[in-house]
Copies of this chain bind each other. A is one copy, B any other.
Amino acid sequence: MIKKAEASLPVYYRLQVSIRNEIESGRWKPGEMIPTERALAEIHAVSVGTVKKALLNLVFEGYLYRVQGKGTFVAGTTLRRESLRYYRLLEHFDDVEADLKVRFLESSEMNCFEPVTRYLNLTPRQKLYEIKRVFLAGEKPVAYTVSYLPQKMFKGLGKLPKSLFEKVTLYKVLEQNYGLPTIYNHELFQIVPAEAEVAGNLKIPEQTPIFFIEMLSFTYKDKPYEYRQAFCHPGKRKLFRET
Protein backbone atom coordinates (compact mmCIF):
# COMPACT_ATOMS: atom_id res chain seq x y z
CA MET A 1 0.00 0.00 0.00
CA ILE A 2 1.24 3.45 -0.91
CA LYS A 3 1.09 6.22 1.67
CA LYS A 4 -1.03 9.21 0.83
CA ALA A 5 1.91 11.62 1.11
CA GLU A 6 3.88 9.59 -1.40
CA ALA A 7 0.99 9.02 -3.73
CA SER A 8 0.26 12.75 -3.90
CA LEU A 9 3.74 13.71 -5.09
CA PRO A 10 4.01 14.43 -8.81
CA VAL A 11 4.95 11.55 -11.05
CA TYR A 12 7.94 13.39 -12.54
CA TYR A 13 9.25 14.04 -9.04
CA ARG A 14 9.00 10.43 -7.89
CA LEU A 15 10.80 9.42 -11.06
CA GLN A 16 13.44 12.06 -10.41
CA VAL A 17 14.07 10.77 -6.88
CA SER A 18 14.11 7.19 -8.12
CA ILE A 19 16.74 7.90 -10.78
CA ARG A 20 18.78 10.01 -8.36
CA ASN A 21 18.83 7.11 -5.91
CA GLU A 22 20.02 4.75 -8.62
CA ILE A 23 22.85 7.15 -9.50
CA GLU A 24 23.82 7.54 -5.85
CA SER A 25 23.78 3.81 -5.34
CA GLY A 26 26.40 3.53 -8.08
CA ARG A 27 24.26 1.72 -10.63
CA TRP A 28 25.89 3.86 -13.32
CA LYS A 29 29.33 5.48 -12.95
CA PRO A 30 30.17 9.06 -13.94
CA GLY A 31 30.31 9.26 -17.73
CA GLU A 32 28.07 6.25 -18.29
CA MET A 33 24.89 6.52 -20.34
CA ILE A 34 21.53 5.88 -18.72
CA PRO A 35 18.49 4.51 -20.61
CA THR A 36 16.89 6.72 -23.26
CA GLU A 37 13.84 8.87 -22.65
CA ARG A 38 11.69 6.44 -24.56
CA ALA A 39 12.98 3.44 -22.60
CA LEU A 40 12.43 5.14 -19.25
CA ALA A 41 8.94 6.18 -20.33
CA GLU A 42 8.06 2.59 -21.15
CA ILE A 43 9.68 1.12 -18.05
CA HIS A 44 7.82 3.49 -15.75
CA ALA A 45 4.67 3.67 -17.86
CA VAL A 46 4.62 7.46 -18.14
CA SER A 47 4.82 9.89 -21.05
CA VAL A 48 8.09 11.01 -22.59
CA GLY A 49 7.38 14.58 -21.49
CA THR A 50 7.25 13.48 -17.88
CA VAL A 51 10.55 11.62 -18.19
CA LYS A 52 12.08 14.67 -19.85
CA LYS A 53 11.04 16.89 -16.96
CA ALA A 54 12.56 14.50 -14.40
CA LEU A 55 15.81 14.27 -16.39
CA LEU A 56 16.10 18.04 -16.91
CA ASN A 57 15.66 18.57 -13.18
CA LEU A 58 18.48 16.13 -12.53
CA VAL A 59 20.59 18.09 -15.00
CA PHE A 60 19.85 21.24 -12.99
CA GLU A 61 20.77 19.36 -9.83
CA GLY A 62 24.09 18.41 -11.39
CA TYR A 63 23.53 14.64 -11.50
CA LEU A 64 23.24 14.29 -15.28
CA TYR A 65 24.22 15.92 -18.55
CA ARG A 66 22.58 15.35 -21.91
CA VAL A 67 23.92 15.48 -25.46
CA GLN A 68 21.53 15.77 -28.36
CA GLY A 69 21.83 12.75 -30.64
CA LYS A 70 23.85 10.77 -28.08
CA GLY A 71 22.04 10.30 -24.83
CA THR A 72 21.90 11.14 -21.14
CA PHE A 73 24.98 10.59 -18.97
CA VAL A 74 25.90 10.59 -15.30
CA ALA A 75 27.81 13.74 -14.40
CA GLY A 76 31.06 13.72 -12.47
CA THR A 77 32.52 16.28 -10.07
CA THR A 78 30.46 19.44 -10.12
CA LEU A 79 33.13 21.81 -8.80
CA ARG A 80 34.53 23.78 -11.67
CA ARG A 81 38.10 23.86 -10.48
CA GLU A 82 40.01 21.98 -7.89
CA SER A 83 40.03 23.41 -4.40
CA LEU A 84 43.13 25.54 -4.26
CA ARG A 85 42.92 26.08 -7.97
CA TYR A 86 39.41 27.27 -7.41
CA TYR A 87 40.99 30.09 -5.49
CA ARG A 88 42.57 31.85 -8.38
CA LEU A 89 45.60 33.97 -7.68
CA LEU A 90 45.32 37.59 -8.78
CA GLU A 91 46.97 40.88 -7.96
CA HIS A 92 43.88 42.96 -8.75
CA PHE A 93 40.30 42.26 -9.76
CA ASP A 94 41.24 42.93 -13.37
CA ASP A 95 44.45 40.88 -13.32
CA VAL A 96 44.88 37.68 -15.31
CA GLU A 97 44.89 34.27 -13.71
CA ALA A 98 48.17 32.65 -12.74
CA ASP A 99 48.30 28.97 -13.49
CA LEU A 100 49.54 26.43 -11.03
CA LYS A 101 51.64 23.31 -11.19
CA VAL A 102 51.32 20.50 -8.68
CA ARG A 103 54.24 18.63 -7.12
CA PHE A 104 53.45 15.36 -5.38
CA LEU A 105 55.55 14.97 -2.23
CA GLU A 106 54.52 11.73 -0.54
CA SER A 107 51.66 9.47 0.41
CA SER A 108 51.51 7.20 3.44
CA GLU A 109 49.11 5.23 5.60
CA MET A 110 48.34 6.16 9.17
CA ASN A 111 45.89 5.76 12.00
CA CYS A 112 42.86 7.96 12.45
CA PHE A 113 43.09 10.97 14.75
CA GLU A 114 40.82 13.73 15.91
CA PRO A 115 39.28 15.79 14.44
CA VAL A 116 39.53 13.74 11.21
CA THR A 117 37.71 10.76 12.74
CA ARG A 118 34.77 12.99 13.59
CA TYR A 119 34.74 14.96 10.33
CA LEU A 120 34.88 11.86 8.13
CA ASN A 121 32.48 9.83 10.30
CA LEU A 122 35.02 7.08 10.94
CA THR A 123 35.69 4.73 13.82
CA PRO A 124 38.99 5.29 15.64
CA ARG A 125 40.34 1.96 14.36
CA GLN A 126 40.07 2.81 10.67
CA LYS A 127 43.15 3.77 8.67
CA LEU A 128 43.82 6.89 6.60
CA TYR A 129 45.81 7.79 3.53
CA GLU A 130 47.85 10.96 3.95
CA ILE A 131 48.84 12.83 0.78
CA LYS A 132 51.20 15.79 0.76
CA ARG A 133 51.46 18.15 -2.20
CA VAL A 134 52.88 21.56 -3.11
CA PHE A 135 51.29 23.99 -5.60
CA LEU A 136 53.64 26.20 -7.59
CA ALA A 137 52.97 29.46 -9.42
CA GLY A 138 55.91 29.57 -11.82
CA GLU A 139 58.76 28.44 -9.59
CA LYS A 140 57.34 29.89 -6.42
CA PRO A 141 55.52 27.56 -4.02
CA VAL A 142 52.21 29.16 -3.03
CA ALA A 143 50.43 26.36 -1.21
CA TYR A 144 51.30 23.25 0.77
CA THR A 145 48.48 20.79 1.31
CA VAL A 146 47.95 17.66 3.38
CA SER A 147 44.93 15.49 2.52
CA TYR A 148 43.41 12.70 4.60
CA LEU A 149 41.21 10.04 2.97
CA PRO A 150 39.61 6.92 4.50
CA GLN A 151 41.60 3.88 3.37
CA LYS A 152 38.40 1.84 3.28
CA MET A 153 36.84 3.97 0.55
CA PHE A 154 39.98 4.22 -1.59
CA LYS A 155 41.71 0.84 -1.52
CA GLY A 156 44.93 0.83 -3.53
CA LEU A 157 45.20 4.60 -3.68
CA GLY A 158 48.78 4.43 -2.44
CA LYS A 159 49.73 2.17 -5.37
CA LEU A 160 48.66 4.61 -8.10
CA PRO A 161 51.58 6.22 -9.99
CA LYS A 162 52.75 9.47 -8.42
CA SER A 163 52.81 11.17 -11.82
CA LEU A 164 49.03 10.78 -12.08
CA PHE A 165 48.60 13.18 -9.18
CA GLU A 166 50.67 15.81 -10.96
CA LYS A 167 48.77 15.56 -14.24
CA VAL A 168 45.15 15.72 -13.12
CA THR A 169 43.44 17.05 -10.03
CA LEU A 170 42.92 14.89 -6.98
CA TYR A 171 39.18 15.08 -7.60
CA LYS A 172 39.62 13.62 -11.08
CA VAL A 173 41.79 10.79 -9.74
CA LEU A 174 39.15 9.83 -7.21
CA GLU A 175 36.31 10.18 -9.70
CA GLN A 176 37.94 8.10 -12.41
CA ASN A 177 39.33 5.39 -10.15
CA TYR A 178 36.56 5.12 -7.59
CA GLY A 179 33.49 6.62 -9.32
CA LEU A 180 33.06 9.23 -6.62
CA PRO A 181 32.27 12.74 -7.84
CA THR A 182 32.74 15.76 -5.58
CA ILE A 183 29.48 17.56 -5.01
CA TYR A 184 30.43 20.38 -2.65
CA ASN A 185 32.88 21.31 0.04
CA HIS A 186 33.22 23.33 3.22
CA GLU A 187 36.13 25.50 4.20
CA LEU A 188 37.39 27.17 7.34
CA PHE A 189 39.84 30.09 7.00
CA GLN A 190 42.37 31.07 9.61
CA ILE A 191 45.57 33.06 9.82
CA VAL A 192 48.42 31.17 11.45
CA PRO A 193 52.20 31.57 11.72
CA ALA A 194 54.11 29.15 9.47
CA GLU A 195 55.64 26.28 11.42
CA ALA A 196 58.93 24.67 10.35
CA GLU A 197 57.49 22.01 7.99
CA VAL A 198 55.18 24.47 6.29
CA ALA A 199 57.75 27.26 6.07
CA GLY A 200 60.23 24.85 4.55
CA ASN A 201 57.86 23.71 1.84
CA LEU A 202 56.70 27.23 1.03
CA LYS A 203 60.28 28.59 1.23
CA ILE A 204 59.33 31.41 3.58
CA PRO A 205 60.68 32.42 7.01
CA GLU A 206 59.16 30.60 9.97
CA GLN A 207 56.37 32.43 11.78
CA THR A 208 55.28 34.29 8.64
CA PRO A 209 51.49 34.76 8.87
CA ILE A 210 49.82 32.58 6.21
CA PHE A 211 46.34 31.35 5.28
CA PHE A 212 45.42 28.08 6.92
CA ILE A 213 42.40 26.60 5.16
CA GLU A 214 40.73 23.44 6.42
CA MET A 215 38.63 21.78 3.77
CA LEU A 216 36.02 19.02 3.93
CA SER A 217 34.81 17.50 0.64
CA PHE A 218 31.52 15.69 0.16
CA THR A 219 30.18 13.26 -2.40
CA TYR A 220 26.68 11.79 -2.88
CA LYS A 221 24.35 11.69 0.13
CA ASP A 222 26.38 14.36 1.89
CA LYS A 223 29.07 11.81 2.64
CA PRO A 224 32.39 13.43 3.62
CA TYR A 225 35.38 11.70 2.06
CA GLU A 226 38.39 14.04 2.34
CA TYR A 227 39.73 16.33 5.01
CA ARG A 228 42.46 18.63 3.79
CA GLN A 229 44.71 21.19 5.42
CA ALA A 230 46.01 23.84 3.03
CA PHE A 231 48.70 26.32 3.94
CA CYS A 232 48.76 29.17 1.49
CA HIS A 233 51.12 32.08 0.98
CA PRO A 234 50.18 33.78 -2.32
CA GLY A 235 53.01 36.35 -2.13
CA LYS A 236 52.20 39.54 -3.98
CA ARG A 237 49.05 37.99 -5.39
CA LYS A 238 45.78 37.57 -3.55
CA LEU A 239 43.23 34.78 -3.25
CA PHE A 240 40.29 35.37 -5.60
CA ARG A 241 36.76 34.08 -5.17
CA GLU A 242 33.61 34.39 -7.21
CA THR A 243 30.17 34.08 -5.62
Residues of A within 8 A of B (CB): 60, 79, 86-87, 90, 92-94, 115, 118-119, 184-191, 209-211, 214, 216, 238-243
Contact = CB atoms under 8 A, between A and B. Distances in A.
9 contacts: A93-B186, A93-B216, A94-B118, A185-B243, A188-B238, A189-B189, A189-B238, A190-B238, A191-B191
A241 B209 contact: no
A240 B92 CA distance: 23
Given A191-B210, A211-B191, A186 B241 contact: yes
A240 B191 contact: no
A190 B188 CA distance: 15
Contacts of A87: 189
Contacts of A60: 60
B240 A188 contact: yes
Nearest to A236: B190
A214 B186 CA distance: 21
Contacts of A93: 115, 119, 186, 188, 214, 216
A209 B209 contact: yes
A140 B189 CA distance: 19
A188 B243 contact: no
Contacts of A92: 115, 188
A47 B209 CA distance: 61
A239 B189 contact: yes
Contacts of A94: 118-119
Contacts of A186: 93, 240-243
Given A115-B92, A214-B93, A243 B189 contact: no
